[in-house]
């Protein structure tokens, strides 16, 4: 896998030591213990996850996921126990150690993931298209413009543009808007450069965008923005709570960047590379689309019923009644099932061929349910009710009871969809002409998808709870 088994260990220890020094400079540890801890963390990451860092994008997500779990295990759990803290393993401890979470992600996860990803290589048997710099930059820039437009709607509503303009000593909203779109294009282009090898479809690209958007909330508003304005970064959970709206904006930006990038990337490949009979699929696009819609709707029937029952028992169905104009609970339940079916159908289109096993299927389902918690109760529901959509921490707190239902719905819908898709695939691959192509199109084991799911789902659930 690597040129030498000592290379990743040495790189990990060296980069981790530098991260430990930065940690000391930020006041989180003394110098010698900080350097020793950083070296240990870097060596541990290289030994446990270094071989998974098959490229800069994959390495970034493996690094972020690894140190997120390490933060959960140590600063948020083990260290309070060792110091005989009165409270541990609760929201209070997580809030008290929120600065360490930011430090672990930026001082260890980011540099170690990128460093080991740069010296890594793809796992054997994982087929990827040749990397194209032009395709990555052009498609990513277009995606960045679309994502920046959506994010800009919130920034305009909360008068955030003058704050961005302050980066170049201005208070003009127009200057802030121009600078915002420039940053959006740069981040979009970097998305293409990092994750072109990881993108295998609309769903995985959207998930990469979600994780990348969350990451940029940590590195942007929490860190770079105050530094560029000549201020000390504030990594406290109180400041994070004040910036919760920016977090949701980054998530929406990332989702759109992922979707648009995948569509542009697929159009580019279809126009320049795949217009030949060798790439012909077993079924036409219309048949594939109808099957995906039907399987997604079938999965949503089970997931939607469970979610609806949870709403009925918890009292959340009353809000659906209010949305549909005071209709009866039965009508509200039917409306809920209709919305669930539409979301399930979209899942079928986005995540076709993304799950090599049921474990990954549950992961994609949890992530998609989480996405619709941000897009549903926090965004679209506010718009339907005619309320301002400011994405505040208070809004997240009031919508937390819906979170479990969305996660349950996503997991069940994805499991049913996976079973229906797998049955059809088993029948389809009886023909040896299509077996090899179908195997190549499905997401194999050994990619960064598990790390992406851990990072995006855990933080996507944890941040609203801690910051609200």
pTM of the full structure:
0.90
Alpha-carbon span 91 to 82, nearest angstrom: 18
**Residue the block writes with tokens 């979009």:** 188
Tokens of 420: 């229906």
Alpha-carbon span 369 to 362, nearest angstrom: 10
Query: 3-class SS at 299?
Result: helix
- Whether the pLDDT of residue 128 is over 70: the answer is no
Nearest CA-CA partner of 367 in 327, 413, 318: 413
Average pLDDT, the chain: 85
Q: What is the DSSP string of 84-130?
A: T-S--SSHHHHHHTHHHHHHIIIIIIHHHHHHHHHT--PPTT---PP
Alpha-carbon span 28 to 323, nearest angstrom: 48
pLDDT one-digit tens code per residue, 407-422? 999 999 999 999 998 8
List alpha helices for 315-392, DSSP H: 317-323, 329-350, 358-375, 381-384
DSSP-derived secondary structure letter, 429: T
Alpha-carbon span 434 to 398, nearest angstrom: 50
* Predicted local confidence at residue 312, as pLDDT: 79
Alpha-carbon span 212 to 188, nearest angstrom: 10
Region 63-84: what's the mean pLDDT?
Answer: 77
- Whether the pLDDT of residue 104 is over 60: the answer is yes
More confident residue, 390 or 76: 390
Contact 358, 418 (CB under 8 A): yes
Q: What is the DSSP string of 143-173?
A: HHHHHHHHHHHHHHHTT-HHHHHGGGT---H
Lowest mean pLDDT among 7-21, 219-233, 281-295: 281-295
Most confident of 86-100, 215-229, 275-289: 215-229
- Whether the pLDDT of residue 254 is over 50: the answer is yes
Q: What is the DSSP string of 19-63?
A: HHHHHHHTTSS-HHHHHHHHHHHHHHHHHHHGGG--SHHHHHHHH
Alpha-carbon span 269 to 272, nearest angstrom: 5
- Whether the pLDDT of residue 138 is over 70: the answer is yes
Region 159-187: what's the mean pLDDT?
Answer: 92
Rg of the chain over all Cα atoms, to the nearest angstrom: 23
Tokens of 110: 């980011």
Nearest CA-CA partner of 412 in 352, 467, 366: 366
Region 329-334: what's the mean pLDDT?
Answer: 81
Position 22 confidence tier, pLDDT thresholds 50, 70, 90? confident
* Predicted local confidence at residue 140, as pLDDT: 95
* Predicted local confidence at residue 121, as pLDDT: 66
């Amino acid at each position: 896998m690597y040129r030498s088994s000592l290379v990743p260990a040495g790189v990990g220890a060296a980069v981790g030591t530098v991260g430990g020094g930065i940690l000391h400079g930020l006041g989180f540890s003394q110098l010698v213990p900080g350097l020793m801890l950083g070296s240990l963390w870097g060596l541990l990451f290289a030994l446990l996850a270094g071989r998974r860092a098959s490229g800069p994008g994959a390495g970034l997500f493996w690094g972020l996921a690894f140190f997120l779990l390490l933060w959960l295990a140590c600063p948020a759990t083990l260290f309070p126990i060792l110091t005989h803290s009165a409270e541990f393993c609760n929201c209070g401890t997580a809030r008290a150690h929120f600065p360490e979470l930011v430090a672990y992600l930026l001082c260890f996860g980011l540099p170690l993931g990128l460093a080991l990803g740069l010296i890594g290589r793809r796992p054997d048997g994982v087929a990827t298209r040749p990397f194209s710099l032009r395709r990555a930059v052009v498609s990513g820039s277009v995606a960045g413009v679309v994502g920046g437009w959506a994010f800009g709607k919130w920034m305009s509503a909360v008068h955030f543009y003058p704050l961005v303009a302050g980066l170049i000593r201005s208070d003009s909203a127009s200057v802030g808007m121009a600078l915002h779109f420039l940053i959006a294009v740069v981040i979009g282009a970097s998305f293409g450069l990092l994750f072109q090898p990881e993108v295998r479809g609309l769903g995985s690209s959207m998930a990469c965008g979600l994780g990348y958007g969350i990451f940029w909330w940590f590195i942007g508003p929490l860190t770079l923005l105050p530094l560029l304005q000549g201020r000390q970064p504030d990594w406290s959970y109180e400041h994070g709570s004040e910036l919760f709206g920016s977090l949701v904006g980054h998530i929406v930006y990332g989702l759109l960047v992922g979707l648009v990038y995948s569509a542009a990337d697929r159009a580019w490949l279809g126009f320049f590379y795949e217009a030949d009979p060798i790439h012909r699929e077993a079924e036409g696009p219309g048949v594939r689309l109808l099957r995906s819609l039907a399987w997604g709707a079938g999965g949503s029937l089970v997931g939607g019923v469970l979610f609806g029952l949870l709403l009925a028992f918890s009292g959340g169905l009353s809000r659906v009644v209010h949305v549909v104009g005071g209709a009866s609970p039965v009508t509200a339940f039917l409306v809920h099932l209709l919305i669930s079916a539409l979301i399930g159908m979209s899942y079928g289109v986005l995540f076709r061929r993304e799950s090599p096993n049921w474990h990954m299927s549950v992961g994609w389902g949890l992530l998609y349910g989480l996405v619709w918690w941000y897009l549903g109760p926090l965004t679209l529901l506010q718009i339907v009710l005619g309320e301002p959509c400011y994405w505040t921490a208070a809004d997240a707190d009031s919508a937390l009871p819906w979170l479990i239902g969305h996660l349950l719905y996503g997991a069940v819908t994805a499991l049913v969809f996976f079973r229906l898709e797998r049955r059809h695939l088993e029948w389809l691959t009886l023909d040896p002409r299509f077996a090899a192509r179908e195997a190549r199109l499905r997401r194999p084991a050994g990619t960064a998808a598990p790390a992406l799911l851990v990072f995006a789902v855990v933080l996507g659930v944890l941040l609203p709870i801690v910051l609200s």
